[in-house]
């Protein structure tokens, strides 16, 4: 089978939401298996250009930081801010991958999402065991969504980004789509990290995903 090059991409991590069910603490800073949620996520995204939309914090790597204006404008406004920042640094990108910052294990799905973007697909959405497509664990063709991120995006639902697109659902491994929304989710994430640390290796122990391979037709 011929190897097909992946279109150039960057990742936007949405990390600026509130956490009412966890008493207002920063969910992305909670410890899961010895690493903060956000750091664990970014470790699995090493090798791709990264934009984090949310309050700046020490994550031990170079990322682009930005905020929607005004802050707490919702996921679509945060996506618009992240995409604008990503394109300012990576104007040749053709794909954006969206990931929620409270998903500690979501980075392991990014390669599959990018690969699923065939020529007749606008968006590849990850889905956990319940089968529900997750618009914040997804790869999008920028040509299909850029116009949807123009104008007033404040308070608009993220489903506005997906409506009418040609989509494909990509099953992901159990736990990959886990959001740390409450105390039970946090305990589940910690249990997964304890039970199977080998499947969540540190960056130094795993190959990185390149921005784009050096040759072959882009998908």
What per-residue confidence (pLDDT) applies to 6?
A: 87
State the Cα torsion 41-47-51-54 to the nearest 10°.
20
What per-residue confidence (pLDDT) applies to 216?
A: 42
Q: Would residue 114 be called left, alpha or beta, if left means φ above 0 and alpha means ψ between -120 and 50 degrees?
A: alpha
Q: What angle do CA 135, 18, 174 make, to 5 degrees?
A: 45
What per-residue confidence (pLDDT) applies to 25?
A: 80
Distances (CA, A) of 68 to 11, 74, 85, 155: 16, 9, 10, 11
Identify the CATH assignment for 9-205 out of 1.10.3720.10, 3.90.550.10, 3.30.70.270, 3.40.50.720.
3.90.550.10
User: How many CB atoms sit inside 10 A of residue 124's CB?
Assistant: 25
With CA atoms as reference, report the closest residue to 49 among 81, 92, 16, 80: 92
Locate 182 and state its tokens: 């409450």
What per-residue confidence (pLDDT) applies to 22?
A: 76
Domain boundary assignment for the chain: 9-205
What per-residue confidence (pLDDT) applies to 214?
A: 35
What tens-digit pLDDT sequence spans the chain (219 residues)?
444 578 899 999 999 766 666 767 889 999 999 999 999 999 999 899 999 999 999 999 899 999 998 888 999 999 999 999 999 999 999 999 999 999 999 999 999 999 999 999 999 999 998 999 999 999 999 999 999 998 899 999 899 999 999 999 999 998 999 999 899 999 999 999 998 754 443 433 333 333 333 334 344
List, in sequence order, every residue forming a beta bridge with 170; answer none if it has no partner.
126
188 contact partners, CB below 8 Å, separation of at least 6: 175, 178
pTM for the model: 0.85
What per-residue confidence (pLDDT) applies to 26?
A: 86
């Amino acid at each position: 089978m011929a190897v097909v090059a992946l279109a150039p991409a960057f990742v936007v991590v949405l990390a600026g939401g509130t956490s009412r069910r966890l008493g207002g603490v920063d969910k992305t800073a909670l410890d899961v298996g010895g690493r903060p949620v956000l750091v664990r996520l970014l470790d699995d995204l090493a090798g791709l250009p990264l934009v984090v939309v949310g309050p700046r914090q020490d994550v031990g790597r170079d990322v682009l930081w930005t905020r929607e204006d005004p802050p707490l404008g919702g996921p679509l406004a945060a996506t618009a801010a992240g995409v604008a920042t990503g394109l300012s640094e990576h104007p040749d990108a053709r794909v954006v991958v969206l990931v929620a910052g409270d998903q500690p294990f979501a980075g392991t799905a990014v390669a599959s999402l990018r690969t699923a973007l065939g020529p007749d697909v606008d968006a590849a959405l990850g889905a956990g065991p319940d089968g529900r497509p997750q618009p914040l664990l997804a790869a999008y063709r920028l040509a299909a969504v850029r116009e949807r991120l123009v104008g007033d995006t404040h308070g608009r639902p993220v489903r506005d980004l997906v409506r009418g697109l040609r989509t494909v659902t990509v099953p992901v491994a159990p736990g990959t789509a886990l959001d740390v929304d409450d105390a039970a989710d946090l305990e589940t994430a910690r249990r997964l990290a304890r039970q199977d640390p080998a499947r969540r290796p540190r960056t130094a122990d795993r190959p990185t995903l390149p921005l784009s391979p050096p040759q072959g037709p882009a998908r």
